[in-house]
C-alpha cells in the first residue's frame, strides 16, 4: 500500500477470538466496551473502509471519519461513499487522507474485506479476545513469516466486558 512519497499506512483494525472468529450472524459475538473505546481512538480522524455487511451491522456512518463502503450490489446509504471494489475504496481513502492529513487508512471489516486487504496492509491493530467463540466469519490467518507482533498489552477487562482482551500491533516484516 505505501507508495513512494506517501506516508499513509494501510491498517487493518479488528477484534478476533483465539480461533480467529470476528463475527456471527452479522454481528460481533461479544460485548466489549473497552474494545469499542480502543477502536474509536485508533480510527477517529481516519478514512474507514468497510464492506456492506459491516456497515449494516453498525447501522450508521461512524462520526469523525470518512466512511467508504465496498459493495457490488449497488448499495447506497446517506453519509457514506459506496464503491464497487477495494481498489476504488483505497483510491478514495488516499484522497481523503491527503485532504485531512490523516496518517492511516483503517480497514474495519468484515471478513471478505480483510481477506482482500491483508496482502496490501502495512499494519494490523488487533484486539485479541481471550476466548474461543463460535462464529461464521473469521479474520485471515496471520503468516508469521510476513508479520511480526511489535506490541501486546496486558489483559484488559472492565466489568461491562464479556471477555478479557489484549491489544496487539503487528507490522509487516518487509517494511
pLDDT of residue 175: 72
SS3 146: coil
Q: Band of the pLDDT at 5, cuts 50, 70, 90? A: very low
pLDDT score, position 6? 65
Q: Which residues lie below 8 Å from residue 13, measured CB to CB, with a gap of 6+?
A: 39, 42, 43, 106, 107, 108, 125, 126
pLDDT of 115: 98
| Nearest CA among 111, 133, 106, 85 for reference residue 40 | 106
For domain 9-172, say whether CATH 3.40.430.10 is its number. yes
pLDDT over 80 at 2, yes or no: no
pLDDT tens-digit map of 15-64: 999 999 999 999 999 999 999 999 999 999 999 999 999 999 999 999 99
Torsion angle defined by CA atoms of residues 8, 58, 44 and 167, in that order, rounded to the nearest 10 degrees? -80
Q: Where are the domains of the chain?
A: 9-172
Determine contact, residues 171/123, Cβ cutoff 8 Å. Answer: yes
For residues 101-114, average pLDDT: 98
Mean pLDDT in the chain? Answer: 96
Average pLDDT (155-170) is 98
**pLDDT tens-digit map of 58-98:** 999 999 999 999 999 999 999 999 999 999 999 999 999 99
The answer to whether 77 and 68 have CB atoms below 8 angstroms apart is no
Amino acid at each position: 500500500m505505501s507508495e513512494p512519497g506517501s506516508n499513509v499506512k494501510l491498517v487493518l483494525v479488528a477484534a478476533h477470538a483465539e480461533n480467529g472468529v470476528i463475527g456471527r450472524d452479522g454481528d460481533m459475538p461479544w460485548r466489549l466496551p473497552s474494545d469499542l473505546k480502543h477502536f474509536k481512538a485508533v480510527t477517529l480522524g481516519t478514512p474507514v473502509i468497510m464492506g456492506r455487511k459491516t456497515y449494516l451491522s453498525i447501522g450508521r456512518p461512524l462520526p469523525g471519519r470518512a466512511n467508504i463502503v465496498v459493495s457490488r450490489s449497488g448499495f447506497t446509504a446517506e453519509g457514506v461513499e459506496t464503491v464497487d471494489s477495494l481498489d476504488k475504496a483505497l483510491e478514495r481513502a488516499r484522497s481523503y487522507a491527503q485532504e485531512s492529513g490523516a496518517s492511516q487508512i483503517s480497514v474495519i471489516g468484515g471478513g471478505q474485506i480483510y481477506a482482500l486487504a491483508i496482502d496490501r496492509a502495512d499494519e494490523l491493530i488487533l484486539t485479541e479476545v481471550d476466548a474461543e467463540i463460535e462464529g461464521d466469519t473469521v479474520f485471515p490467518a496471520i503468516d508469521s513469516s510476513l508479520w511480526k507482533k511489535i506490541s501486546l498489552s496486558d489483559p484488559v477487562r472492565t466489568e461491562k466486558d464479556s471477555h478479557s482482551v489484549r491489544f496487539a500491533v503487528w507490522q509487516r516484516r518487509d517494511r
